[in-house]
Amino acid sequence: MQRRGLVADNVVHFSRVLRRAGLQVGPDRVLAALSALEAVGLERRDDVHAALSAVMIDRHEQQAIFDAAFDAFWRDPKLLEQLMMAMLPKVTGRADKPQRPQRVQEALAPPRPPARDPSAPAKDEIRFEAALTFSDRERLQGMDFESMTTEEFAAARRLAEEVPLPVAPVRRRRHEAATDHDPSARIDLRATLQRMARRPDVFLPARTRARTELPPIVVLLDISGSMERYARLLLHWVHGLTRRHLRVHTLTFGTRLTNVTRALRHRDPDVALAHAAAQVHDWKGGTRIASCLDEFNRRWARRLLGENAALLLVTDGLDRDEHGDLSRAAAQLRRHAHRVAWLNPLLRYDGFEPRAAGVRALLPHVDRFLPVHNLQSLADLGRALRAPVERPRAHRIA
């Protein structure tokens, strides 16, 4: 009976770690895990792993997180109050330290004690545990990515994946069936006559409406040294867009152009960004905007910029390409794209002026020139792109 109670306590602790890592593990799955362990027993580690995996996760992409967390507790039973000690055999011998996903590392890390003011008098305090309160969210919305601490930057990465889509639905020529309560619906004469042919004694009009769908989104992200801090968080933002809208194409550029769309389609953000980082070889390098835009126009523009696709060009415009014609490449890109929005973190400065040669070359060929330096600017992006198009002049910021 005592051993059974220890197993139940350890399973509860293990479920808390999985929840910290982002998995939806509730009390129902804890009860199912206990029942599964009673059925398979605790003698073999593989049986315990298979039983817990079968009832505590529900999607294939969660398997990597579960395996890393399970393996960490099996290798080191002292973690988190000797989690899984009662059910897992001890390991003898030496082994290399495993590489775990960032979410599992954060879930295993002990909570940090809050900083205490040494000048404050000692007294009993009531403290509440909150990972991210409403006031924290509000403060992070307006904070510049460049000035964030490590913890604030990690919280901003999680919030960036929840930012709404920056595009509005586009009306298509085809129609679809609608309900009587839809204000945009109209009577479909053909479908109504077909109903009357089947049941002449009943008049039940059919209604239809124009079909709408979200247009594709193409993101060209500058990953040069001057954009490093912003590029890391914006990759999390693009990953969030890709999870909610499958027609998102992402290409990074510094000294070369790299398509990381397939890597960012993985549901787990840590795995997705790890795969993207393995493909990108010019991170924190120089900037050759003209050459990269030329390559995009030749290889990808006709393929990706159809169906009223929205192009988001994320760069500070500091081009160091001596062999390319940036103005010509930007003009050709504008002819391919339905709408070009330039997101520039330098617009966070009130006194910003387009003095750099790259900024002056790009500015006449974009429809929107918007800041992208904090979470609030990402949230405002959708509203700005839904506004009527008015091309900015070279000396004007829209």
Could you give the C-alpha distances from 165 to 13, 72, 241, 331, 390, in angstroms and in order?
Answer: 36, 37, 6, 26, 21
Average pLDDT over residues 222-226: 88
Handedness of CA 206, 209, 210, 211 (dihedral sign): negative
Residue type (1 letter), 383: R
Could you give the C-alpha distances from 383 to 377, 380, 386, 388, in angstroms and in order?
Answer: 10, 5, 5, 10
Q: What is the pLDDT of residue 89?
A: 41
Most distant pair of Cα atoms in the chain: their distance:
87
Q: What is the pLDDT of residue 306?
A: 85
Average pLDDT over residues 185-194: 87
Structure letter (DSSP) for residue 199: -
Q: What is the pLDDT of residue 159?
A: 64
Q: How are the residues of the chain apportioned to helix, strand and coil, as percentages rounded to the nearest 5? A: 50, 10, 40
Answer for the pair 226, 287: CB distance below 8 angstroms, yes or no: yes
Listed in sequence order, the residues at least 6 apart from 324 whose beta carbon sits closer than 8 Å to its beta carbon are 288, 289, 290, 291, 293, 294
* Tens digit of each residue's pLDDT (9 = 90 or more) over 329-388: 999 999 998 889 898 988 877 778 888 888 899 999 998 888 887 777 777 777 777 665
Q: Which residues of 165-193 are buried (b: 16+ CB within 10 A; e: fewer)?
A: bbbeebeeeeeeebeeeeeebeebeeebe
Under the banding of pLDDT at 50, 70 and 90, the label for residue 109 is: low
* Tens digit of each residue's pLDDT (9 = 90 or more) over 229-285: 888 888 888 888 888 877 899 999 999 999 999 999 888 888 888 898 899 988 888
* pLDDT at residue 138 tops 70: no
Residue type (1 letter), 249: H
Under the banding of pLDDT at 50, 70 and 90, the label for residue 150 is: low
Average pLDDT over residues 213-230: 87
Report residue 32: phi and psi, to 5°.
Answer: -65, -35
CA-to-CA distance for 293 and 212, rounded, in angstroms?
31
| CATH no., domain 217-386 | 3.40.50.410
Q: What is the pLDDT of residue 77?
A: 46
Could you give the C-alpha distances from 50 to 25, 42, 45, 254, in angstroms and in order?
Answer: 16, 12, 9, 44
Under the banding of pLDDT at 50, 70 and 90, the label for residue 62 is: confident
CA-to-CA distance for 299 and 312, rounded, in angstroms?
17
Strand partners for 257:
253
Residue type (1 letter), 146: E
Report the SS3 class of residue 55: helix
CA-to-CA distance for 351 and 253, rounded, in angstroms?
27
